[in-house]
């Protein structure tokens, strides 16, 4: 290979990298209390430790727990961008461990009804983040809602959190059933089994959901990983400190790291020109008209 060809290939790789958009991941659950927000912040910290730039966006309007788990009181939220013309950099908070955090504070269904000037300003501010992060993690409300369905459809992929409890499994299946019903070609969905008492229990939970989805929904449901029941997790919540930071050697932290090592090798392959980042996410949200 001559020097000129090597230079051309290098420039091609550089242009592809330059055009990459952040990967938008919706993190959700079928019911509350399964550790969704706790997973989100610790998964974000593990991605950051692996050298990735991450923004966490809290879209759970009913029980916004991300700021509580980090011990942070946000000064502004995205509603301030819409209503008060605050810049996105005014709203972006630095949380525990250096994780950058956006408080939601807006009902996504009300946004398209705003004046065009306000909406245009909002979208221009969102555009500022287009090449800023590698990942944007959306912490959504639990359960089935129109907002959740739209978030899943608009994001690049979804991580579904469940526990081995029969009610959590049933509610997770209900979410998956709704996804298939309204979006025949939905984005990738990966399963995380949280608070499993043993590896065997985690595998059985994963297998149950995977087989049920395959049989009745004709849907493939890969498993991202498992997080074992760990007393350090509850202790960290009381401390308002993510367990990945307060107990980096505990079993739950090791489980999160294992997921990152499993997930990241295929990360570059997952990125494509079809991923339009956070602006693309909101554009898709505003164009949807789903009725549940």
Mean pLDDT value across the chain: 86
Q: For 151-206, write each residue's pLDDT tens digit.
A: 888 899 999 999 999 999 999 999 999 988 887 655 689 999 999 999 999 999 99
CATH number at residue 109: 3.40.50.300
Q: How many domains does the chain have?
A: 1
Average the pLDDT over 64-70 and give the result: 82
Average the pLDDT over 43-48 and give the result: 97
Q: Which residue is listed with tokens 């029969």?
A: 166
d(CA 16, CA 233): 40
Instruction: Quote the pLDDT of residue 235.
Output: 96
Residue 35 has φ and ψ, to the nearest 5°, of 95, 25
Instruction: Quote the pLDDT of residue 108.
Output: 64
Q: For 95-135, write each residue's pLDDT tens digit.
A: 999 999 999 877 666 665 666 777 789 889 998 988 899 99
Q: Is the pLDDT of residue 6 over 60?
A: no
Instruction: Quote the pLDDT of residue 266.
Output: 74
pTM of the predicted protein model: 0.89
Instruction: Quote the pLDDT of residue 183.
Output: 74
- Domain containing 56 equals 21-285
Average the pLDDT over 215-240 and give the result: 96
> pLDDT confidence of 290, banded at 50, 70, 90?
very low
Inside any domain, residue 157: yes
Inside any domain, residue 2: no
Give, for 283, the enclosing helix (H) or strand (E): helix 277-287
Inside any domain, residue 212: yes
Inside any domain, residue 194: yes
CA angle 269, 274, 275 (to 5 degrees): 75
Inside any domain, residue 64: yes
> pLDDT confidence of 14, banded at 50, 70, 90?
very low
d(CA 159, CA 176): 11
Inside any domain, residue 4: no
Inside any domain, residue 178: yes
Q: Report CA-CA distances (Å) from 271 to 16, 20, 23, 72, 227.
A: 10, 7, 7, 31, 26
């Amino acid at each position: 290979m001559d020097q000129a060809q090597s230079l051309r290939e290098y420039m091609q790789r550089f242009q592809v990298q330059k055009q990459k958009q952040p990967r938008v991941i919706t993190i959700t659950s079928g019911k509350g209390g399964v550790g969704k927000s706790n997973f989100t912040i610790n998964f974000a910290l593990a991605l950051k430790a692996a050298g990735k730039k991450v923004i966490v966006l809290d879209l759970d309007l009913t029980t916004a727990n991300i700021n509580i788990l980090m011990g942070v009181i946000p000064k502004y939220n995205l509603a301030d961008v819409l209503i008060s013309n605050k810049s996105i950099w005014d709203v972006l908070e630095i949380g525990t461990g250096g994780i950058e955090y956006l408080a939601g504070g807006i009902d996504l269904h009300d946004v398209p009804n705003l004046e065009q000037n306000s909406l245009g300003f909002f979208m221009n501010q969102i555009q500022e983040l287009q090449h800023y992060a590698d990942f944007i993690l959306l912490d959504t409300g639990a359960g089935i809602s129109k907002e959740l369905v739209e978030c899943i459809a608009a994001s690049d992929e979804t991580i579904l959190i469940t526990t081995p409890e029969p009610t959590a499994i049933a509610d997770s299946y209900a979410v998956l059933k709704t996804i298939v019903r309204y979006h025949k070609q939905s984005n990738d969905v990966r399963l995380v089994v949280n608070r499993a008492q043993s590896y065997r229990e985690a595998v059985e939970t994963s297998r149950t959901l995977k087989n049920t989805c395959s049989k009745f929904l004709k849907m493939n449901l890969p498993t991202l990983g498992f997080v074992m029941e760990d007393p350090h997790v509850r202790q960290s919540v009381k401390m308002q400190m993510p367990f990945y930071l307060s107990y980096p050697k505990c079993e739950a932290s090791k489980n999160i790291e294992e997921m990152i090592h499993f997930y990241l090798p295929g990360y570059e392959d997952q990125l494509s020109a079809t991923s339009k980042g956070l602006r693309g996410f909101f554009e898709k949200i505003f164009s949807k008209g789903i009725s549940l």
